[in-house]
Structure 1
């Protein structure tokens, strides 16, 4: 497992590069004005994973809106290909090795104990935006099971081509979800409940975008 090597100076420089990159490839990024504000001081971010851009969009969202000391669990392959992500707060997980999963979750817990915010892509891998079911892995549930005072924060990304040349990104941040709010007594049941709640939020975002009912969104790029 590769731990993060976060550097504030690198984040500042990368933000300049990332902003130009996103502006080049996207018309804009929109955030729902109804997203949960104020946010909890600490959370486990839960994000759907459908694009290579997800990590860069998340970095921009956190840097310019959320302002959390964020660390993100990423697949080992991704960090190996793009090692600079470690300086932005990424740490690795290899799902092919059960012991590595345990180490990554243990490291996540250590970060939470230090007051950090942790970001997870509970689908594990990158899947098509419209794929259902989302098939969440239980890592996020096992994490907040140990830290029940820290909520999950569902963050939905939806990519769309509209009336302009470049695609747009729409983001909605849901209400914080605490472990005890999830139905079920077993980890599997609570994971199913989380996936169901997240799917409803993502599908609602999709319907708003498809039907162009996006007056409640404002640009953050």
Structure 2
């Protein structure tokens, strides 16, 4: 596996580049429930776009301000190696030994008080793909680090009246291992998968019905960003 090579200097420089890039690419970023976890967390999300990882960097830079690391498929990290300097580390899902090495690396990060982001689907899939088909790595990490809360985040990309697309981001409430019904790791993963499918579908309905009331436009200019 390829470990992270995180650089605070590179992160600060990249943040200067990223926000204008997001403004050029999207008309709006709508966020609901976006707030900093009360400490290190395991964060998961659906994965349908190359932008997902960059939007996580934006959320952390603007709102969370945590020591974040993100699990990324090895082929993507080899193509975009600069992500390692932002805290990305690799996983090769075609190699069982590499999968275990990456999960143990993530476990070590969580036990050091760092926040880890992963995409339980493993790869990018079309936004409307159902079921989401989660791998069991999330439950592995929850079992190994039971005191670390799980924070679900959902992304929904939409084209509507404007030339550029918009993104709707929904941060859910923390989930503890004890909140998940007892069962095998596979059974508990399926419970979490179905829970997130339902939450993502509710977010889709909010987009279709244009329910702006619960969302903030996160691209509005503000001081001290």
* Structure 1 residue ranges without an equivalent (≥5): none
Aligned-pair CA distance for 1:184: 2.9
CA deviations over 1:123-149 (Å, ceiling 9, x no partner):
000000011000000001111111111
Quote the Cα distance in structure 2 between the aligned partners of 1:103 and 1:22. Answer: 33
Hey, which bits of structure 1, 4+ residues long, moved more than 4 A? none
With structure 2 as the length reference, what TM-score do the two structures score?
A: 0.95
Structure 2 SS opposite 1:58: helix
Structure 2 match to 1:15: 15
Q: 1:175 to 1:95 in 2, by over 3 A?
A: same
Q: How does 1:45-84 map to 2 (within 5 A)?
A: 45-84=43-82
Shift of 1:30: 1.2
1:169 and 2:179 are equivalent in the alignment: no
* Pairs within 5 Å for 1:1-221: 1-32=1-32, 35=33, 37=35, 39-221=37-219
The one-character-per-residue Cα deviations of 1:154-175 (angstroms, maximum 9, x if unpaired) are: 0000001122110000100001
Deviation at 1:37, TM superposition (A): 4.5
Q: Provide the alpha-carbon RMSD of the alignment.
A: 1.1
How many angstroms apart in 2 are the aligned matches of 1:220 and 1:36? 10
2:70 is paired with a residue whose SS is strand
Shift of 1:70: 0.5
Q: CA deviation at 1:39?
A: 2.4
Question: Residues 29-87 of structure 1, C-alpha deviation per residue, up to 9 Å, x if partnerless?
Answer: 1111xx16462311100011001111111110111011111000000000000000000
Offset of residue 28 of structure 1 = 1.9
Aligned length: 219
For normalisation by structure 1, the TM-score amounts to 0.96
Query: Partners in 2 of 1:59 and 1:142 — Cα distance?
Result: 24
List alignment gaps of at least 5 residues for structure 2.
220-225
Deviation of 1:201 after TM superposition, in Å, equals 1.1
Once residues 117 and 170 of structure 1 are traced to their aligned partners in structure 2, the CA distance between those partners, rounded to angstroms, is: 22
Q: SS in structure 1 opposite 2:163?
A: coil
**Alpha-carbon displacement from aligned partner over 1:74-103 (angstroms, at most 9, x marks no partner):** 000000000000000000000111000111
CA distance in 1, matches of 2:217, 2:15: 17
